A and B are shown apart, each in its own frame.
Chain A
Amino acid sequence: METVLTTHLADDRYRRIDGYRGSGGYEALRKAVSMPRESIVEEVRKANLRGRGGAGFPAGVKWGFLPKDFSRPRVLVVNADEGEPGTFKDRLILTRGPHLLVEGIAITCYALAIHSAYIYIRGEYVLEARILEEAVAEAYAAGFLGKDLLGSGFDLDVTVHRGAGAYICGEETSTINSLEGKRGWPRLKPPFPASVGAFGLPTLVNNVETLADVPWIVANGGERFAALGCEKNGGTRLVGVSGPVERPGVYELPANVNLRDVIYDIAGGLRGGKPLKAVIPGGSSTPVLRAEEIDVTFDIESMAKIGTMAGTSGVIVIPEGTCMVRALSVLMNFYAHESCGQCSPCREGTGWLRKITGRIEAGEGRPGDVELILDLCDNMMGRTICALADAAAMPAQSFIWKFREEFDRHIAERKCPFGNSF
């Protein structure tokens, strides 16, 4: 299979600019600055590239939302706040191929006449931020960033901005607020970032992987990139597999890969041949699948058809013997901790879900608790400014729908039937 991102990532030299250039790096940028801007955008549109941050919004369309007039400066915000539990794909690019991102930023900014790019990287990515800063400095020194890059007459400044460790700051309008030095609260939309974003300017927010795909698209053409994927999603995807599998890690896979193959073939199946119980397919907020549901193409549309999401492609493998109530309780702790507190349903709902799931797991569940969880989820979903309430409610609902008997047993037996399963 042809790879876009991971071809050279095993090579340590690829981290530094010389190694990267030795493998053809920055040639796409050189090509880009000789192209008319519109043709770069056209290639990305033809590439059928969909945002890799989880929502899967077509990148070309998003680029097109920026205003057509250039009266105000525009800003690129690179979302490197990778915070969705189970997701660690961007980290691979940041640590093993940071110049893929830097080159992608340079091409994107050139194509869209953006002179300021901010890479918002999550606070916990300390090492990653250091590597990235080094890469940005190397690119400046080599003339790929800064004033008159590659003699094109185009100026571009790239700033690495570290977050302070809040999940919500990965929501694009929170990212912008946080970048501006404000509390990381999602913004009410409209206006959308494309018209009023960072510092009040038209802003494009793209995920690390999305931008890292851009050099390959420019070098090899959008159509070739599109051909690597499926009808509605071009190119390859980085898939992270975690849980007790033989070979956990990040894999670059075609969009039409089967989820069962991801787990049993690519990741080598469950350690010690343990039976599979459940899979959270696309990061912790995506609805859980039972073991018998995983024979499905791991792309955006197929996953939607069975009521879940490809999300960030962070596949979490859950083996038989795991207490699903406890697993949900762990997730609910996370969302209650990370709710920014702005919207009433999320602020109060996530904390309430945490308490109910916690008490069921502790053997203190009350009759009616399961129905209560479902009703609260209904009162939370789609009722808030951003999707964090949905992100908490979706696992809660799906865990109950798929594993209802475990919740009922906890309440009826007044204890966790699994004992300590972690």
Chain B
Amino acid sequence: MPNLTIDGLAVGVPEGTTILAAAKQVGIHIPHYCYHTHLSIAGNCRMCLVEVEKFPKLQTACSTVVTEGMVVRTDTEKVRKAVTGVLEFLLIHHPIDCPICDQAGECGLQDYYMVYGLHRSRYALEDKVHKKKVQDIGGQIVLDAERCILCSRCVRFLDEVTGTRELNFFQRGDHSEISIFPGRPLDNNYTGNLADICPVGALTSKDFRFKCRVWLLKGVESICTGCARGCNIAAHFKGDILYRYKPRVNDAVNRAWMCDFGRLEYKKANDARLLAPFVREGGREKSASWGAIVPQVALELSRAVEREGADAVAVIASPQSSNEELYLVRRIAADRLGTKNLAFTHRTPGDGFSDDLLVLADKNPNSRGAKLLGIPDGEAFDALIGKIAAGRIRALLLFGNVLGAFTEGETAGLLSKVPFIAQVGTNTGPVSKAAHAVLPSASFAERGGTFTNHAGRVQRFHAGFPPRGKAKNVIELLCDLANGLGADWTFTGERSVFRALSETETPFRGMTYESVGAFGQEAAR
């Protein structure tokens, strides 16, 4: 465990630590472009030069491993001139098109210019080397070769993470540029990460392009709902509109990456939303107030139990729901309705696609959580569908906007056999088109809770903003419904529900939001 001093601060670090990482430990930021925590060391941008005692030349902090007694200085005139000089070199051919660049506001060139630059350009405008702008290189990415500082992060990502190697360097000297090979566009499931790791505006997202200035966005820590991996993400929004996802680092789950499919999942919180409760009477939608619709649903459900018995009532849960919500759903089915007809399915239309990096075939964030909470999948779901098809279910409480992997036509046919269907869902879909009472629920960006990923890791997601329109937080909605069915629940928010379930549910026993923390906690097996 070598000890060193950086700008006079003493620090001990594990064997093999680089100067850059050691400096971070004592709160000293060493500027860098090519260095990335989750990629190999390239050492070519030369921004992280520092003075190391006994070394005649400045050393790159990203690649120099700390040795015992090392004395490092990042704050000398020599270092400052070197860093300023490198930054000047990086900027001489830059097109300075910040006003139309999506990276503006989160750009490494802008940020370091404010700290190390602030110089007048010594480079003649007419000497600038021009390169091709706005190149569609495939995937989710647009390349602007003029803005590129040739840090090689993207090239290393495609070599080391996806192994697809679509990008490489072409030409030499100040005509160097990154590019795809002729006719071979980006072809992998992780192209969006290139925009994340690009420290400048060279690789930007086609989806996010020109949508919003980044300083207008707020972010909230969330979990991708696109599959059972549970990639840690930040959801960026303005007002009540989501604009993009960015992966958060969690080495136990997604390292620093997320897939291209998950990256576009945010659109589900924006588009085709159910925003106000309504009932369907005589085939026509009729808006309803929350004050009226919840008691009505409670009445229809309890009436069905009374008249036809508990076996004529069913609940289909959704693996898109949080652990907290599923826990309450199960209790409503078991305690309030007294029915054994409770199941869910992880199947969705067009599911099954997976790869060997992050993408899993199960396109739900919480199938594992549903199972751990005792909600059956598979045969139980098929049996329940059988009962519906046989006309034996007289009242159905259904979560989500699709019914398993059934097509819209199949769903409509099945649901026509049930005299009363109440749906709790966020988006319009085949179910909301058939339901007799539609109770719009908050999206994943508008509510908080926990998901349990495929490996049993319980991870928190947070609300970014209040539910849109008249959509309601599911926990609040479920409490109202349960109390309408005679319960006296007093849960306020997801934390209180998690506290309750962690007392009774073995896999979650003893867990708290604090113990789950920022990186999740594995449920007991």
Contacts and interface: CB of A to CB of B under 8 A. Distances in A.
A363 interface: no
Contacts of A350: 173-174
B405 to A, nearest CB: 47
B63 interface: yes
A188 interface: yes
A372 B124 CA distance: 13
A336, A340, A348, A378, most chain B CB atoms within 10 A: A348
Interface residues of A, number: 29
A385 B58 contact: no
B173 A188 contact: no
Contacts of A166: 172
Contacts of A380: 85
Interface residues of B, number: 38
B48 to A, nearest CB: 11
A200 to B, nearest CB: 14
Nearest to B88: A379
A376 B169 CA distance: 25
A224 interface: no
A342 B176 CA distance: 9
B429 to A, nearest CB: 50
B46 interface: yes
A382 B55 CA distance: 11
A interface: dominant SS: helix
A379 B46 CA distance: 11
Contacts of B60: 188
B169 A345 contact: no
B169 A183 contact: yes
Contacts of A372: 122
B372 interface: no
A382 B58 contact: yes
A166 B171 CA distance: 11
B354 to A, nearest CB: 32
B92 interface: yes
A397 B171 CA distance: 27
A341 interface: yes
Contact of A340 (B49, B85, B172): B172
B85 to A, nearest CB: 3
B85 A383 contact: yes
A336 B176 CA distance: 11
A348 B174 contact: yes
B467 interface: no
B463 interface: no
Contact of A383 (B46, B63, B169): B46
Nearest to B45: A344
Interface in A334-378: 336-345, 347-352, 355, 372, 376, 378
A349 B89 contact: yes
Interface in B44-79: 44-47, 49, 56-58, 60, 63
A188 B43 contact: yes
Nearest to B56: A382
Nearest to A368: B122
B172 A343 contact: no
Interface string B387-430: 00000000000000000000000000000000000000000000
B173 A336 contact: yes
B41 interface: yes
A188 B42 CA distance: 7
B149 interface: yes
A384 B46 contact: yes
A383 B174 contact: no
Nearest to B64: A190
A338 B171 CA distance: 10
Contacts of B47: 344
Interface in B18-40: none
B49 to A, nearest CB: 7
Contacts of B514: none
A404 to B, nearest CB: 20
Contacts of A188: 41-44, 60, 63
A383 B127 contact: no
B41 A337 contact: no
Contacts of A336: 173-174
B86 interface: yes
B168 interface: yes
B176 A379 contact: no
A337 B172 CA distance: 7
B231 interface: no
A174 to B, nearest CB: 12
Contacts of B127: 352, 355
B173 A383 contact: no
B131 interface: no
Nearest to A381: B57
B90 interface: yes
A384 to B, nearest CB: 7
Contact of A344 (B56, B123, B124, B150): B150
Given A342-B44, A344-B46, A351-B129, A383 B86 contact: yes
Given A188-B43, A349-B89, A385-B43, A344 B173 contact: no
Contacts of A341: 150, 169, 171-176
A345 B124 CA distance: 18
B93 interface: yes
Interface string A316-343: 0000000000000000000011111111
A148 B42 CA distance: 42
A252 B129 CA distance: 45
A413 to B, nearest CB: 21
Contact of A379 (B63, B86, B123, B173): B86
Contacts of B174: 336, 339, 341, 347-348, 350-352
Interface in A271-330: none
A166 B150 CA distance: 20
B81 interface: yes
Contacts of A349: 89
B82 interface: yes
A352 B92 contact: yes
Contacts of A342: 44, 150, 152
Contacts of A343: 44-46
A345 B86 contact: yes
B93 A348 contact: yes
Nearest to B85: A379
B148 to A, nearest CB: 11
Interface in B231-257: none
Contacts of A376: 85
13 contacts: A183-B168, A336-B174, A341-B169, A343-B46, A344-B47, A344-B149, A348-B89, A352-B174, A372-B122, A378-B81, A379-B88, A382-B56, A383-B86
Ordered nearest first, which 7 A-B pairs have the shortest CB separation?
Answer: A341-B176, A379-B85, A351-B174, A348-B89, A339-B173, A188-B43, A382-B57
Given A188-B63, A380-B85, A383-B82, 5 more contacts: A188-B60, A347-B150, A378-B81, A378-B85, A379-B88
Interface of A: 166, 183, 188, 336-345, 347-352, 355, 372, 376, 378-380, 382-385
